[in-house]
Structure 1
Amino acid sequence: MTTSTLTRAGTASKKGGGRRKLTLPVVLLIVAGGLALFSLVRVISGADDLTSVGQVSGALQLAVPIGLAGLGGLWAERSGVVNIGLEGMMILGTWFGAWAGYQWGPWTGVAVGIMGGALGGLLHAVITVTFNVNHIVSGVAINILAVGVTRYLSNFTFAEAPGGSSKQSPRIDQITDITIPGLSDWLADLQAKHWFFVSDLAGVLGGLVTNLSLLTVVAVLLFPATWWVLWRTGFGLRLRSCGENPVAAESLGVNVYKYKYIGVVVSGGLAGLAGAFLAIVSTGIYQEGQTGGRGYIGLAAMIFGNWMPGGLAMGAGLFGFTDSLKLRGGAENVHAMLLLLAILLLLATAWQLYKKKYWQAAICLGASGGLFAWYGLTSEVPSQFVDAAPYVTTLLVLALSAQRLRMPKADGMPYKKGQGK
C-alpha cells in the first residue's frame, strides 16, 4: 500500500464532514477567557491559592502521569486495541523504575520503568492481537497480574534493601529540576499582588518555569511528538488505518498485526514512563498502590480529548488541577470551585437557550442555582467531597463530553489476518 492512497482516502473523509478545526488565535482567546473566569472566582471567593505558582506547578506534576497514561491509551486505541490495562502497566513502571532507580540512578530507572510497562503492553498485544481474546478481559487480567507480581517481587528485593520494606523501595535520587532565575522570582512577586488577571497569568507562567523536572519537559514534548508521528507521517497514517478499518488497510498492503503490536507496546511503554514518573519525580520512592487509579483517569482523559493529543492534554490538566486543589488549600479551594461550576453552568444555560434547547437549558439553570445556593450558604465543603473531587470531576467530564465523542471505528473489534481476502 502506498501512503498517497491512504492520504487520499483520509482527505476524502474529511471533506465529507467533521468539526471545524480551532485556529491558534481562537484557542488563545478561549484560554484567556478561562483564565479571566478563574481570576473572577478567585477575587470573589478570596481563594488566592487558586492560580498561585505552587498550585500550577503542583497541577503540572500531577497531570503528567495522567497525561502519559492517556497518551499510551491513545496509541493503543488508534491502532484498534482497547487498553484497559494501563493501570497495571503503570504499576509495572513504578516498580521497575524504582528498582533500577535506587541502584543505578534515576535516568536508568526511567528507562527500565518504560521497559517494564512495554513488557505489559507486549503481553496485552499477544493476548488480544495474536490470540484474539476480548480486550477488556485481557486488560483487567493485566491489572490484577501487575499487582500480584510487584507485590511478590517486593518481598525479596525492597524488603532486603536498606531503607526499604515489602511495601516500599529505598529512596531514589531526584532528577534535576529547572528554575529560570530572575524570571521565576519576578513572576512569583507579581502573582503575590493578587491583581485581577495579571497575577493569575503570572501564577500560571511562574508554575511553568519553577522547579520543573527535566522529565516533565520530556513528557510534555511527547504530546506534540505523538501528534506529528500519528498525523503527519506515513507510519502514523498506516497505524491509524488499522484502528479505523483493518480489512481495508490489509487489502492495501498494511501489515495490520505489526502496527497493532507497535501501538500496544508503545502504549505500555508510555504507561510505564508514567509509573516511573510517579516513583522517581513525584514521590522519590516506590510505594504499593501509589498509582491510585491514575491509569483509569488517564483513559478518561483520552476519551475526554476525543482520542486526540491536544484534547487529552487539556483533560489531563483538568484532572491534575483538581487533584492539586485537594492537596493544596483543600476545602477552601474546592469550595471556590463550586462558584466556578455555577458560573459555567449559567453560561451553558445561555448557550442552550441560543440553540433553542429549552429542556437542557432548564436543567443547567437548576443545577447552577443549586451550586450558587450551596456556595452562598456554606463556607467550606465536607472533607470527603474534597478527597473525591478528582474522581467526581472524571465522572462529570465523561458525562458532559459523551455526546461529541468519535472513537476509532474498529477500536476493540476482533480482527484475524486475511479477513479481507
Structure 2
Amino acid sequence: MSTTSTPKPAAPKSAPAASSSAGGRRKPTYPVVLLLIAGGLLLLSLVRLVTGDEQLSNSGQFSTAIAAAVPIGLAGLGGLWAERAGVINIGLEGMMMLGTFGAGWIGWQYGPWAAVLAGIAGGALGGLLHALATVTFGVDHIVSGVAINILALGVVRYLAKLWFGADGSEAAKAGGNDKQSPPMDNMPSFTVPGLADGLGSVEKHHWFLVSDLAGILRALVSDVSWVTVLTVVLFVGSFFVLWRSPFGLRLRSCGENPVAAESLGVNVYTYKYAALIISGALAGLGGAFLAIGVHFYQENQTGGRGYIGLATMIFGNWRPGGVAMGAGLFGFMDALRVVGGGATVHAMLLLMAILLVGLAVWKFRAGLRGARGARVQAAVALVIAVLLVLWYALTDTVALEFVEMTPYVTTLLVLSLAAQRLRAPRAVGKPYRRGEGT
C-alpha cells in the first residue's frame, strides 16, 4: 500500500525550473531590456549634465563607438555560431587576420566591395582549417585555435613581405611595403540629409536627455558604412536562422547533445563544418571592416579584437542580442578613449560609481532572499563605488595609461558580474566521434 501512496506530481513541478536560465533565473524579456537601455541613457544624460563633459554623448562619440563595435560584434557572432555547434573557436583572432590581409590584398586592386568578399573568404578558410583539425582529426579545440592564431600571424607577415614589400613590384610602387598594403578606394556610406541635419541642430542645444538621444540617432543616420548595415542584417539573420529554422535547431542540437542528434539522423560533422566555416567568414568580415576603414591592410591591425569578440559572446550568453550589447558596450568604452581622452574617462568614473551602487542594492536584496555570497558582493561593489567617487572628486583627469586600459578593464568587470547567469552549450568543447550513439 505504501507504494501506491507515493506522490507523483513532484517531478512535473520541477520541469519549469529546469527550463529557465541557469541558477533558476528567468531570462529578461524584451520590455525589460528596453527599460534597462532607457535607464542607461537617462543615467548617461544625467552624468553629462553633472560633469559638463559634452563629449560623453555627442554623435561623434557614438559614431566612433559603432565603428569600434562592428568588428568585435562580428567576431563575437562568429564565435556564437561555432560554439552553438559545440566547437570552441579561440582562432577568431587568426581568422580576422586572414580577413584583414585578404581585404588589403584584393581591395587595392579591385575596390572595397571586392575587399569585403576577400575578407570573408580568408576568414572562411581559417574556419575550414579549424573544422578539419577539430572535427575530422579530433584535435583539442583550444590547441587548434591557438595554432591557427600563430599560423595566421606568420602567414600574413610572410605574404605581406612577399607581395607588398618586394622591391620593384607593382604593390610597392602603389605605396605598399612589408607592413601594409597599398591604399584602396573609400567604401560608400549613406546619410539621411534632412534627418541628420535636424538631429544635429537638436544635439547642439545640449538639452537634457533630448540632445543625448538626438546624438545617438544622428550617429545612426550620418555617414554610416554599408558594412555596418550588413552587420545588422547578419545579426538579425543569425537569430532567425539559429532559433527559427530547422537548420538552426539541428545545428544547436550538435552543441547540446551530438549523440542524441546523430540518433535522430543529423549529420553532426556536416553541421559542425558549416558552423565553423560561417564562424570564420564572420570573423573575416570583421577583419575586412578594419582594413576598409583605414583603406589598407596593416600588420597587427586586429589588436586582439578576436579575443574581445569571444568575451562579448560569453557576456551575451551565446545569444545574438547579448553579443550585440556586449560589442556596443566595448565599442562605447573604446570610443571614450579615442574621442574624449582622459577628461571623458574621468567623467565615466562617476557613472561607474552610480552603477556599482545600483549593483550593491540589487545584491543586498538578493542576500536578504538567501542568495549565497550576495551580501559580500554588495559590500565589495559599495566599497569600489566609494573609491571611484573619491577618485573623481580628488582629480581632474585620468592618466593616459589608465585611459588605454579602460575598454579591457570594462570587459573584465562586465564578465565577472555576468558570470553567474551564463549557460554555455552543454557539449561545447567536448570530443565527439561519429557513431558514438550506436
TM tier, smaller? over 0.9
Please say if 1:81 is aligned against 2:87.
yes
- Which residue of structure 2 aligns with residue 400 of structure 1? 417
User: Which residue of 228, 236, 251 maps to 1:239?
Assistant: 251
Please say if 1:211 is aligned against 2:223.
yes
Looking at structure 2, the residues matched to 124 and 225 of structure 1 have their Cα atoms a distance apart, in angstroms, of: 24
Please say if 1:183 is aligned against 2:195.
yes
Looking at structure 1, the residues matched to 268 and 175 of structure 2 have their Cα atoms a distance apart, in angstroms, of: 47
Amino acid at match of 1:235: F
Amino acid at match of 1:171: P
Looking at structure 1, the residues matched to 213 and 222 of structure 2 have their Cα atoms a distance apart, in angstroms, of: 14
Answer with 1 or 2: which has the greater Rg. Answer: 2
Amino acid at match of 2:285: L
Amino acid at match of 1:288: E
Q: 1:109 to 1:14 in 2, by over 3 A?
A: farther
The Cα offsets for residues 178-235 of structure 1, whole Å up to 9 and x where unpaired, read as 1110111111121111111111100111111111011110111111100000000000
Looking at structure 2, the residues matched to 217 and 17 of structure 1 have their Cα atoms a distance apart, in angstroms, of: 33
Per-residue deviation, 1:315: 0.1
Per-residue deviation, 1:346: 0.7
Looking at structure 1, the residues matched to 423 and 34 of structure 2 have their Cα atoms a distance apart, in angstroms, of: 25
The Cα offsets for residues 287-306 of structure 1, whole Å up to 9 and x where unpaired, read as 10010000000000000000
Instruction: Say which SS state the counterpart of residue 328 (structure 1) adopts.
Output: helix
Deviates more, 1:266-275 or 1:190-199: 190-199
Amino acid at match of 1:298: G
Amino acid at match of 2:50: I
The Cα offsets for residues 262-301 of structure 1, whole Å up to 9 and x where unpaired, read as 0011000000000001001x21111100100000000000
Looking at structure 1, the residues matched to 386 and 433 of structure 2 have their Cα atoms a distance apart, in angstroms, of: 53
The Cα offsets for residues 336-377 of structure 1, whole Å up to 9 and x where unpaired, read as 111111000111111122222432221111111011001111
Looking at structure 2, the residues matched to 131 and 266 of structure 1 have their Cα atoms a distance apart, in angstroms, of: 20
- Which residue of structure 2 aligns with residue 371 of structure 1? 388
Per-residue deviation, 1:17: 2.9
Looking at structure 2, the residues matched to 21 and 306 of structure 1 have their Cα atoms a distance apart, in angstroms, of: 10
- Which residue of structure 1 aligns with residue 20 of structure 2? 17
Deviates more, 1:227-236 or 1:349-358: 349-358
Deviates more, 1:70-79 or 1:180-189: 180-189
- Which residue of structure 2 aligns with residue 302 of structure 1? 313
Looking at structure 2, the residues matched to 16 and 125 of structure 1 have their Cα atoms a distance apart, in angstroms, of: 31
User: Which residue of 243, 264, 269 maps to 2:276?
Assistant: 264
Q: Answer yes or no: is the 8 Å Cα contact 2:20–2:27 preserved in 1.
A: no
**Paired residues for 1:50-61 under 5 Å:** 50-61=56-67
Per-residue deviation, 1:57: 0.7
Looking at structure 1, the residues matched to 175 and 83 of structure 2 have their Cα atoms a distance apart, in angstroms, of: 40
TM-score (normalised: structure 2): 0.91
User: Which residue of 289, 293, 300 maps to 1:289?
Assistant: 300
Looking at structure 2, the residues matched to 294 and 359 of structure 1 have their Cα atoms a distance apart, in angstroms, of: 33
Deviates more, 1:20-29 or 1:371-380: 20-29
Q: Answer yes or no: is the 8 Å Cα contact 2:88–2:142 preserved in 1.
A: yes
Please say if 1:46 is aligned against 2:52.
yes
Per-residue deviation, 1:394: 1.5
Instruction: Say which SS state the counterpart of residue 233 (structure 2) adopts.
Output: helix
Amino acid at match of 1:414: P
Looking at structure 1, the residues matched to 349 and 283 of structure 2 have their Cα atoms a distance apart, in angstroms, of: 32
Per-residue deviation, 1:83: 0.2
- Which residue of structure 2 aligns with residue 362 of structure 1? 379
Q: 1:380 to 1:209 in 2, by over 3 A?
A: same
Looking at structure 1, the residues matched to 375 and 141 of structure 2 have their Cα atoms a distance apart, in angstroms, of: 40
Amino acid at match of 1:137: V
Per-residue deviation, 1:15: 6.8
Deviates more, 1:58-67 or 1:153-162: 153-162
Amino acid at match of 1:186: G
User: Which residue of 370, 373, 383 maps to 2:400?
Assistant: 383
Per-residue deviation, 1:20: 3.5
The Cα offsets for residues 367-404 of structure 1, whole Å up to 9 and x where unpaired, read as 11011001111111110000111111111111111111
- Which residue of structure 1 aligns with residue 9 of structure 2? none
Amino acid at match of 1:403: Q
Q: Unaligned 5+ residue runs, structure 1?
A: 1-11
Deviates more, 1:355-364 or 1:311-320: 355-364
Query: Percent same amino acid at aligned positions?
Result: 62
Looking at structure 1, the residues matched to 280 and 364 of structure 2 have their Cα atoms a distance apart, in angstroms, of: 44
Q: Answer yes or no: is the 8 Å Cα contact 2:20–2:26 preserved in 1.
A: no
Q: Answer yes or no: is the 8 Å Cα contact 2:104–2:184 preserved in 1.
A: yes
Amino acid at match of 1:47: D
Per-residue deviation, 1:14: 8.5
Amino acid at match of 2:102: F
TM-score (normalised: structure 1): 0.95
Per-residue deviation, 1:119: 0.3
Q: Answer yes or no: is the 8 Å Cα contact 2:84–2:255 preserved in 1.
A: yes
User: Which residue of 219, 239, 244 maps to 1:227?
Assistant: 239
The Cα offsets for residues 111-160 of structure 1, whole Å up to 9 and x where unpaired, read as 01100000000000000000000000000000000010001101121123
- Which residue of structure 1 aligns with residue 6 of structure 2? none
Looking at structure 2, the residues matched to 58 and 14 of structure 1 have their Cα atoms a distance apart, in angstroms, of: 42
Amino acid at match of 1:385: F
Looking at structure 1, the residues matched to 375 and 68 of structure 2 have their Cα atoms a distance apart, in angstroms, of: 38
Instruction: Say which SS state the counterpart of residue 391 (structure 1) adopts.
Output: helix
